[in-house]
Amino acid sequence: MVYLARPSCYGDARCVGTAVLSTTLLLLLLTFLLGLLISNRLEQQINQLTALTQRLLSGERDTTLPRQGKGEIEEFSRNYSQLVDQDNEVIAHLREERDQLSRVLVYMADGVIIADHIGRVRQINPAGYRLLGTTAEKAVGHTLAEVLRHHELINLWQRCQQEGVEQMAAIEVGQNLFLQAVITPFQQKESQAYLVILQDLTTIRRLETVRRDFISNISHELRTPLASLRAVVETLQVGALDDPPAARRFLSRADHEVDTLTQMVEELLELSRIESGRVPIRLSPTAVCDLIQIPVERFKAQAKRDKIKLILNVPEDLPYVFADADRMQQVVNNLVHNALKFTREGTVTISAFLPEDAPKSVKREIMNLSPSVIFSVEDSGVGITAEDLPRIFERFYKSDRARTRGQGGTGLGLAIARHIVHAHNGRLWAESKEGKGSTFYFTLRTA
């Protein structure tokens, strides 16, 4: 019986070993399968993170990372998404600031140029290349010397480059452009760059010129009658009072000079009131002939005396216009008087017509105006030089020819006429050729 029991125990040991081996193999297989599953899942999550990173690097800032279960990977994904969101907010804020700066540069009136350490243009705004008469394509990448193209501007930049401090100068570029240039050095990364600002002061310079000319002209206009009055008074003081005929003659001269001064002061006050808007303009539908007939009748005697033919060319079927009749008669009066003054034994024609009957040069002037009637005063006189023509509507402005011919007047009539027409929402301008007469045009809106 004992001998027969040994084989049974040995068989049981083999069974246990087989079971342990099978269990171990099964556990190893399960571990392998679980590891493979976890590895595939980790690989999938890492691939998603890699794809997200690649999309972010390519500029797709709106990509999101899906939630990845639980554990360390899920924590990492959440932190990574928060980091991306914060980065997107910073980038959006920077982009908004950049767009605002770009809009400022595009719409600002001053020219702005940014150049690197050797003076090569990196950026220029529209005002900059408009003031310098170039384009962005011709400026960016080129040197400041090629873009500025004016020796004073180039010298200003070279001085800034040499001294390393801000340089400023007012420079006249050509006949119709006056610039104030400010060139400032600044540090950009590890090198020095330059900011060039160009301010257009042409209008201010022109206003200064007008103010200076105004002071000069009014001083000249006042000097003549005042000197004449002084001469009259001194002559009377030294004995002319004892000669009644001479005294009357000098007193008449003094009276004339006082009238001249009075007229000048009244016209200055009138012009000041019109410019400041203190003179009311009462618009009402008015017949064209009512604006022209009275001034023409007033000058008929003077025209006949000077052997000048006054011609009135006003069709009867013209529409009514919106006008303050008294003020517009003052305009016609000034224009006709001016035409007679510079015409010798010729013609002065006063006309009114519709835009479709206007010459081509007039149509170009009124192409953007509302429906209007056009008035013109044309003379066959001495004409206006090309140099004087742009300035004839300035206060006290008189051409050299008018001064040498001894023409009277204060030089305020055309300035007053221009402001009255502008108050009617019309336009007043002149065309002339020296020696061939002048034509003054103005427009009034139809009623």
Could you identify the residue written with the tokens 């007469």? Answer: 437
Specify the DSSP element, H or E, that contains 174. none
In a domain, 97, yes or no: no
Q: Which domain holds residue 181?
A: 108-200
Q: State whether 421 and 305 are in the same domain.
A: yes
Please indicate, yes or no, whether residues 43 and 125 belong to a single structural domain of this protein.
Answer: no
Q: What is the CATH number of the domain that holds 227?
A: 1.10.287.130
**Is residue 223 domain-shared with residue 330, that is, in the same domain?**
no
Predicted local confidence at residue 251, as pLDDT: 86
Strand residue runs (E) in 336-415: 347-353, 372-379
Asked if residue 231 and residue 196 are part of one domain, the reply reads: no
What confidence tier does 319 reach under pLDDT thresholds 50, 70, 90? very high
Phi-psi region of 332 (alpha: psi -120 to 50; beta: other; left: phi over 0): alpha
Q: Which residue has the higher pLDDT, 94 or 397?
A: 94
Domain ends where: 200, 230, 249? 200
Q: Are 424 and 345 in the same domain?
A: yes
149 and 174, same domain (yes or no): yes
> Would residue 149 count as lying in a domain?
yes
Let me know whether 149 and 230 are in one domain.
no
What does the pLDDT read at residue 63? 61
Domain boundary residue among 153, 171, 200?
Answer: 200
Nearest to residue 398, comparing CAs of 237, 192, 137, 224?
224
Q: What is the pLDDT of residue 195?
A: 92
Tell me whether residue 206 is in a domain.
no
CA 185/CA 165 separation, integer angstroms = 6
pLDDT reading at 409 higher than 70? no
**Does 103 map to a domain?**
no
pLDDT digits (tens, 9 = 90+) for 101-135: 778 888 888 999 999 988 899 989 999 988 888 88
Residue matched to tokens 């044309």: 378
Phi (first) and psi of residue 435, to 5 degrees: 85, -5
Q: Is residue 296 part of a domain?
A: yes
Cβ within 8 Å of residue 169, ≥6 positions away: 152, 156, 180, 181
Check whether residue 182 and residue 222 sit in a common domain.
Answer: no
Residues 247, 292: one domain?
A: no
**Domain count across the chain:** 4
Report the candidate in 335, 338, 369, 336 with the shortest Cα–Cα distance to residue 354.
369
Rounded distance between C-alpha atoms, residue 144 and residue 439, angstroms: 47
- Check whether residue 257 and residue 362 sit in a common domain: no
Q: Is the pLDDT of residue 278 over 50?
A: yes
Give CA–CA dist 412/409, Å, rounded.
8
> What's the pLDDT tens digit per position in 185-215?
988 777 788 999 999 998 888 888 777 777 7
The per-residue pLDDT for 277 is 72
Residue 28 domain-assigned (yes or no): yes
On whether both 434 and 342 belong to a single domain, the answer is yes
Q: Sheet containing 347-353: which strands, arranged edge to edge?
A: 309-313, 347-353, 372-379, 438-445, 428-432
**Nearest C-alpha neighbor of 273 from the set 443, 430, 427, 415:** 415
Same domain for 164 and 240, yes or no, is: no
Give the C-alpha distances (Å, rounded to integers) separating 345 from 307, 335, 339, 382.
5, 18, 12, 11
Which 8-state DSSP code applies to residue 446? B
Mean pLDDT over each residue of the chain, to the nearest integer = 82
Q: Give the pLDDT band (50/70/90) at residue 2.
A: very low
Q: Which CATH number is 351's domain given?
A: 3.30.565.10
Look at residue 129 and give its three-state secondary structure: helix
Residue 323 scores a pLDDT above 50 = yes
Q: Are 421 and 405 in contact (CB under 8 A)?
A: no
**Please, which pLDDT band fits residue 3 given cuts at 50, 70 and 90?**
very low
Q: What is the mean pLDDT of residues 404-416?
A: 67
